Amino acid sequence: MSFFTRRLLTTSALIGFAVPTAVMAAPAASSSNSGAPAQSVKSAKASVSAPSMMGATAPTDQAPENLDVKGSRHRQVGGGLMIKEDAAKSRSTITSEYIEKQGAGLNPMQLIEMLPGVNTTSTDPMGLSGGHMTMRGLTESQIGFTLEGFPINDIGSYAVYPQEIVDPENLRSINVEQGSADLDSPHISATGGAVNMYLLNPKERLGGKLVGSYGNYNARRIFGRLDTGYVGNTNVRGYVSFSDAVQESWRGPGGQNKMHGETKWVSAWGKGNVVSFSLVGNQSTGVMFPSTYMDTWKKTGIYNSYSSKWDPKHPDKNYYQLHRNPFTNIYASAPSTFTLTDNLTLTETPYFWYGNGNGGGAYSEDLTKQQYGSQTMTGSIGPYNASSSNAKSLLLYNPSNTQTYRPGAVTKLTLHTGINRLSIGYWFEYSKQIQTGPYSMIDYATGKPEDLMGSGPNLVLANGQTAMYRDSLTQTRIHTMFIADSLSLLHDRLTLEAGLKYTVVNRQGHNFLPDTSTGPYINGSWQQPLPAASIRFKINDENQLFASSTTNFRIPMNTSLYDSGAYSAGSGYSTHANANMKPEISISEEFGWRYQGPTVMSSITYFHYNFTNRLYQQTVTMPNGDYYSRSINGGNSHADGVDLEVGTRPILYHLRPYFSAEYINARTDSNVAAGSGSDYVFSKGKFAPQTPKYQIGFNLDYDDGHLFGGYSLKYVARQYSSFTNDQHIPGYLTMNINAGYRFRNWGPLKSPTLRLNLRNITDQHYLGFVNGTAANGLATTGVYGSKIKAGSSTFSIAAPFMVMGSASVEF
């Protein structure tokens, strides 16, 4: 019997033991208006707020202490970097007190950079062009991100674009689950934990907030929010906010911009009935930053950028106007909880996710020899055809468009009866993702695309078809059922939990390109049982122990289903489909101890994980110098490590220090395929790529109610970019400073505040993230004796020093 099978049977036995307890303990159903006995109501409330690792993702279904600010202002642990935690797994939370002192407009990845296990990289100081993240050595595509209980990761690639998600002024908290997502968390890619973001609730009185900011690189940002208070004599209250941010590129020409709007409405009544609605809109057309190779980095450093000059006689595909990143996103959700009886609650989280954007690029095309699969024919675009003077080398705009429609809902029923709580739920999602790569006209007078979305005029082949380097439609249907049971014993000192999630994912794909290796239609189906179990024991009011074991999986990216790119006779498309790629499966265990005293709080967690079919992003370089990423199976891997965090409430002179650290030993358990895949490199036993062995974070906060300031540093050890460990990013140390002053209220103006933020104060120039791994960084000999050429990893260059001043006021 396999280890996984034993784990599943053990968890199922726990559920089978616990469920009858819930049924036997349930009293006769009664109407919420009939007046339940006081003891029943008290037990129900205690059960709802009890610690859980199984189902607390929806904001209306959260235990109050996990979101609300406790204690007087400016007394939170570590300056808002820790809260009291009772979950039976590792979880770290930052609150609005910490968030409001950071640089205006920072994205969520930048805000959680101090937490244990978290390694983040921003490609620009304000975070407007995005960023990257690993947690315990696992990338953001393996981490489930939610906002107000609905999923943020791209449904096809599982990528996260942090600049699109939320304005920090509206954030109530962000919690980071380093080892596993909750059982009710709506993800098919969270093999490495979760990041959950929650918006502030609207204020009960009419008011608002204004923030204006200015910094180097001509960075400018405005933010405004209006709270309605209660509308008339109803329970409804809401807010509407808007922000506009721009900055010039810190390396290369152009700049980044972002317009962002949010609204949230809440109505609460009776005993625990809450209906909420959130809507987020985001739009940008900024210029991207190019990734770099290691040899390019050594030669040019931070000066690797797109070209700032355009010559119509010598058009350059690296001209910056051809590498913009237009996108529009709309997220909507309505998380709500209803008290059906004194012992039964319903949580419903419907959502809708819309996205439309691309990453721009340009290629020189020969109109006399265009490929439509295996057929060679001519093409024409606008005034140009095969007889034009420049027909054999015409520069065309070629964006990678992605349009996504994604409705879904998570439904959960919770029965809480005395010492027992039973939850059952169902998550359904249907998504449609259209991905195209059209060739379109460039205005040769200015060097700008005729249309940023590549809508036309387009390159049309002699057979009337529009030329595409990719052209696919992916439809994904997700059915996930979950059940979890929690049992509290010894007057809530001991909590036992067990759960099982069963996920069924069906993908239907249609590749509209001709002569593909897999044919035009693709059907993929994945099913996986995912058991989980945990235990938490409170030694006393200040000390507690916890342990958990979870199983998660991630299906391959949708791009692995399709051929794409340029077609060559004999070899087909440059990117080959791998429709039979197996899903990535992780099994994670944690054991930890928390001390939560009146002044000092700490947590230390030992963790271990095993991966089967670990999926990596590999960079493949084409003969013409262009490159693309593909998903590869890195085989099996495992890791052992320790996370630590310590924080205090105000001690001497209003100081609140916070310290976090991680040590991890992550190893690859398989030899990885290299080159054409006919041979393997000696990677078994090597340290896993994209994983820093050590991380240390420190934050010192001072706040006397008026004057405040902070100093933080983060050290990240080296990160390998190859499976053979022959290429790496050196370790680096960054430091930030913030300072400000809150003035007394002035008439209707509340807490006028001036704030100064400095990030990367030593102006460290460094590579912060491995975008795409390589089997080997240097030429080597394979397992079977063949000569394997050096691979090509790509890297992100991290943001430089930035200073930003902000003025804000509430009313």
State the DSSP code for 333.
E
Mean pLDDT value across residues 586-612: 97
Whether the predicted pLDDT of 8 surpasses 90 = no
Gap between the Cα atoms of 380 and 598, Å rounded? 74
Q: What is the pLDDT of residues 258-292, one digit of tens each?
A: 999 999 999 999 988 999 999 999 999 999 999 99
CB atoms within 10 A of CB 38: 8
Of 124, 171, 440, nearest in space to 302 by CA: 124
Reduced to 3 states, what is the DSSP secondary structure of residue 245? Answer: strand
CB 99 within 8 A of CB 295: no
Side chain identity at residue 569, one-letter code: A
Reduced to 3 states, what is the DSSP secondary structure of residue 804? Answer: strand
Reduced to 3 states, what is the DSSP secondary structure of residue 90? Answer: coil
Reduced to 3 states, what is the DSSP secondary structure of residue 159? Answer: coil
State the DSSP code for 77.
G
Whole-number pLDDT of residue 621: 56
Gap between the Cα atoms of 310 and 619, Å rounded? 29
Cα 218 to Cα 243, 246, 632, distances in angstroms: 17, 8, 41
β-partners of residue 656 are: 701
CB 606 within 8 A of CB 569: no
Whole-number pLDDT of residue 721: 96
Categorize the per-residue pLDDT at 579 as very low, low, confident or very high, splitting at 50, 70 and 90: confident
Whole-number pLDDT of residue 56: 78
User: What is the chain's percent helix, strand, coil content, to nearest 5?
Assistant: 10, 50, 40
Whole-number pLDDT of residue 617: 67
Whole-number pLDDT of residue 17: 34
Domains of the chain and any CATH numbers: 3-568+580-810 (2.40.170.20)
Gap between the Cα atoms of 75 and 730, Å rounded? 37
Q: What is the pLDDT of residues 625-674, one digit of tens each?
A: 555 556 678 889 999 999 999 999 999 899 999 999 999 999 999 999 88
Q: What is the pLDDT of residues 539-563, one digit of tens each?
A: 999 999 999 999 999 999 998 889 9
β-partners of residue 475 are: 432, 508
Q: What is the pLDDT of residues 767-790, one digit of tens each?
A: 999 998 999 999 999 999 999 999
CB 681 within 8 A of CB 726: no
Of 274, 407, 428, nearest in space to 347 by CA: 274
Reduced to 3 states, what is the DSSP secondary structure of residue 25? Answer: helix
Whole-number pLDDT of residue 75: 86
Whether the predicted pLDDT of 12 surpasses 50 = no
Mean pLDDT value across residues 615-620: 68
Whether the predicted pLDDT of 581 surpasses 70 = yes
Reduced to 3 states, what is the DSSP secondary structure of residue 10? Answer: helix
Structure tokens belonging to residue 374 = 């295996």
CB atoms within 10 A of CB 16: 11
Gap between the Cα atoms of 414 and 424, Å rounded? 7
Gap between the Cα atoms of 245 and 147, Å rounded? 21
Gap between the Cα atoms of 499 and 552, Å rounded? 13
